[in-house]
Structure 1
């Protein structure tokens, strides 16, 4: 996935709330939009280099979205709209090995009380519900999800179990928005209920997948399948 809009670098100053941050562009302090409601405290550290995407608009308060940041030498994409776009591209290009048989790809489809990111259908009419979770929390090469409690996330996982029990395919894919990581694991410390639900789902036939991304300042692309420790 190549970013078609203008991309510039800036220096991170502070993030007073979930949606806004202040950065330094040249000598100017500028307010920007943060398209991620997660905490990202270990990424958005004062003085770090961040990547901005130019997003002009009459109804916008800011001209830029803060889409990525350098954590030491590692570039991490934090745009919460990116994971579904990356996976959509990967599904169409048959890059996810166990989902290659599905040729019909639909976005944002309802099942039960949840709306899943994808509904896939193969040539025989078999359906597969896929939920995508963007993962940005990394410590010493270990990636975890979530970075804060998510009741909505746990609900999605249990709905996937229900979909599987009703003769559908079902899976959750954690898109790691960075490269060069060791493995993925649920964040039991931050959200033990989500971790418990994910383990339960895996034991009941829901596929749990994790993929890293090749990330640079102008693009992000699905890269490697990553080991999972539940």
Structure 2
């Protein structure tokens, strides 16, 4: 996916709250919007190089969004809106091996008490055959250490509830899965971050035991693009 707006480099200064980050652009300190509620503290370190997307909405309080950062030589995308966009692109292009048979792609559909990121169908327009349906939840991953990627980087009761609802989807005879989008390249594997949120890890393993598909794919990331492209191992 090509980022359709101009991107520039800047030096990260500080992040006083979840949505605000201050950066240095040509020796001027500027506030940018941070489109990620996660901590990202191992990425957004004072002095690091970050990537800003120039916004063109005159009503915004900030002229830039902070969408990625360099962790040493590794570029990590942190835009929380990106995972669903590149998954939709990957689904349309048949990139996700486990889901190639699903031709109809719908966004933001409800099952039970949860709204899932995608509802897929094997046949376009065939919405009556429940055994042809598949509900997919997408989780963006930005936490990495020595090639090991983990989710979440902050406790997420909402994420745990999504997993339990996916179990109910599977019990109904429909397909169900969670896809962890690794927003970087050149990693070794993915695992749940039990140290941060034990309940989420337990729910993920329970979902696996109940037939929910657990998938993790990494991404090719540049300063002006990101594309889902390769499956990586999962350690539960």
Measured against the shorter chain, the TM-score band is over 0.9
Per the alignment, residue 16 of structure 1 pairs with 16
Instruction: Please state how far the C-alpha of 1:76 moved relative to its aligned partner.
Output: 0.0
Structure 1 outlier segments of 4+, above 3 Å: none
Which structure 2 residues correspond to residues 89-128 of structure 1 after superposition, within 5 A? 89-123=89-123, 125=129, 126-128=132-134
User: What residue number does 1:157 align with?
Assistant: 163
1:39 is the counterpart of 2:61: no
What residue is the counterpart of 2:142 in the other structure?
Answer: 136
Aligned length: 230
The one of 177, 188, 192 aligned to 2:194: 188
Q: Give the Cα separation in 1 of the matches to 2:73 and 2:26.
A: 21
Q: 1 CA distance for matches of 2:33 and 2:79? A: 10
- Once structures 1 and 2 are overlaid, which stretch shifts more, 116-125 or 169-178? 116-125
Taking the aligned partners of 1:9 and 1:58, their CA distance within structure 2 comes to 21
Q: Does 1:223 align with 2:214?
A: no
Shift of 1:69: 0.2
C-alpha displacement of 1:87: 0.1
Q: Take 2:122 and 2:13, find their aligned partners in 1: how far apart are those partners? A: 48
Instruction: Find out whether 1:169 has 2:175 as its counterpart.
Output: yes
State the TM-score, normalized to the length of structure 1: 0.99
Q: Distance in 2 between matches of 1:135 and 1:98?
A: 19
Please give the secondary structure, in 2, of the residue aligned with 1:128: strand
Distance of 1:40 and 1:98 partners within structure 2 = 30
1:104-134 per-residue CA deviation (whole Å, 9 max, x = no partner) reads 0000001111100000001274100000000
3-state DSSP class of the match of 2:4? Answer: coil
Instruction: Report the Cα offset of residue 59 of structure 1.
Output: 2.2
Any stretches of 5+ residues in structure 1 without a counterpart? none
Q: In 2, Cα distance between the equivalents of 1:214 and 1:57?
A: 28
Per the TM alignment, residue 58 of structure 1 is displaced from its structure 2 partner at its CA by 2.8
> Mapping of 1:59-98 within 5 angstroms?
59-98=59-98
Distance across 2 between alignment mates of 1:198 and 1:108: 21
Instruction: Give how far 1:223 is off.
Output: 1.8
Q: Say whether 1:214 aligns with 2:231.
A: no
| Residues 1:29 and 2:29 aligned together | yes
Q: Distance in 2 between matches of 1:147 and 1:25?
A: 28
